[in-house]
Structure 1
């Protein structure tokens, strides 16, 4: 496979109470085209910061991120980003929210409606097109946000703990929905989570980050596809993967705790 995202020697610091906090230090990572890569780790290990740099929303202090060999200097139309929080426009219906990225690109109204309807159906929101965000449940909001991200057919998806605020049943439903949609489009995915089960269920590869974005583990996930988010957890291979990655996650948490004590 060819490399779609190449992260080279990325460093990033922030100032807190007049002190420099190093969030990422000389991070290197490659994401292959069409792969589903999950970044896992505790809060404070730099997952979201790294994703924002890859999205072109945050400049690194040093180092470069390349997209298909070209340095990233800002957001790219080929890359979709689904954040932790819902960012639907409250004054727009589901249909109009999903249409918005197409409207920005100057797509004709009839084509916008056709494509929005297609993706609203794909995420299971058919019949709810005319509702406003305040009329939707948490799971429906996530589905609408997912449809809005996918409607432009992005080559690459960046997802920052998109299901973290949902209850366990809804999370499983949307994990299955995402797996189904990904199997159709085969976009490249960089997905951030702190949930190891979610990481193994979804990923071709799980990368566990420690302090400064240091890679503690980089584990291929050789579980068969297509996967069912509920039943895959009962395979013996899943248990073995979870044990190895759990040990790496515990090491990562200890690193982060030591850093917090020093601060």
Structure 2
């Protein structure tokens, strides 16, 4: 398969109080087109730093990020990024938030409205087009953010623990909705999480990070799709993978 996103020997240092703080060291990863890669790691292992580099939002201190064979030197409209924090524009209603990537591309008003309406329907927000972010629940804001990212039709999606702040039931609903949106789309996803169950439910490949982005495990996930967490939890293959990933996380933090 075609490699769509590649990180080669990435190191990232930050200056703090006249000292160099290393957040990521010698990190290498290749992501194939159409795959769903979950990156699993505990807080402080460099997951968010890695995503910022893959998105072109920051430059590596050493190493190279390539997207579709070209060196990435800044943000790319073909790469969508859904962050942990809520980045909806509070002065725009839901419809105009979702339209924003299309506005940036110069798409006409009628086409923007049609595309946004279709996406809001897909993420379960039809009827909320004129609501403002402050009028939405946390789960609805996540849905709106997902729709806005998809409006730009990126072929590569980066997601930084997007459902981490939600309650368990809502998180499960959004995980299943994300899989439905992804399956058959041809899009490539890199999804960062600290939750083993989430990583196994979503991914067809799991990369476990230790300190400073050291790759402890890089494993293909052969669990059949579609997947539902309630049935997965009693699947012996899932239980075995869960045990192995827990051991890898423990190894990575030691």
Q: Same fold (TM over 0.5)?
A: yes
CA distance in 1: counterparts of 2:163 and 2:54, whole angstroms = 20
229-238 vs 130-139, which moves further: 229-238
Question: TM-score, normalising length from structure 2?
Answer: 0.98
1:234 aligned counterpart, secondary structure: coil
CA offset at residue 127 of structure 1?
A: 0.9
Do the aligned partners of 1:204 and 1:221 also contact (CA within 8 Å) in 2? yes
Do the aligned partners of 1:210 and 1:251 also contact (CA within 8 Å) in 2? yes
CA distance in 1: counterparts of 2:17 and 2:237, whole angstroms = 46
- Runs of 4+ aligned residues of structure 1 deviating over 6 Å after TM superposition are none
Aligned to 2:75: 75
Aligned to 1:121: 121
CA distance in 2: counterparts of 1:243 and 1:117, whole angstroms = 43
CA offset at residue 90 of structure 1?
A: 0.5
CA offset at residue 20 of structure 1?
A: 2.1
Q: Deviations over 1:66-101 (max 9, x none)?
A: 111100000111110000011001111111100111
Do the aligned partners of 1:175 and 1:229 also contact (CA within 8 Å) in 2? no
CA offset at residue 240 of structure 1?
A: 0.4
CA offset at residue 230 of structure 1?
A: 3.4
How do 1:210-225 and structure 2 match up within 5 A? 210-225=210-225
Aligned to 1:52: 52
Aligned to 2:65: 65
CA offset at residue 144 of structure 1?
A: 0.3
CA distance in 2: counterparts of 1:60 and 1:224, whole angstroms = 37
Aligned to 2:160: 160
Q: Does residue 174 of structure 1 match 2:213?
A: no
Q: Deviations over 1:20-44 (max 9, x none)?
A: 2211111111000000001111111
CA distance in 2: counterparts of 1:53 and 1:228, whole angstroms = 32
Q: Does residue 11 of structure 1 match 2:14?
A: no
Do the aligned partners of 1:103 and 1:112 also contact (CA within 8 Å) in 2? yes
How do 1:66-215 and structure 2 match up within 5 A? 66-215=66-215
75-84 vs 13-22, which moves further: 13-22
1:60 aligned counterpart, secondary structure: coil
CA distance in 1: counterparts of 2:160 and 2:216, whole angstroms = 20
- Unaligned stretches of 5+ residues in structure 1: 255-263
- Unaligned stretches of 5+ residues in structure 2: none
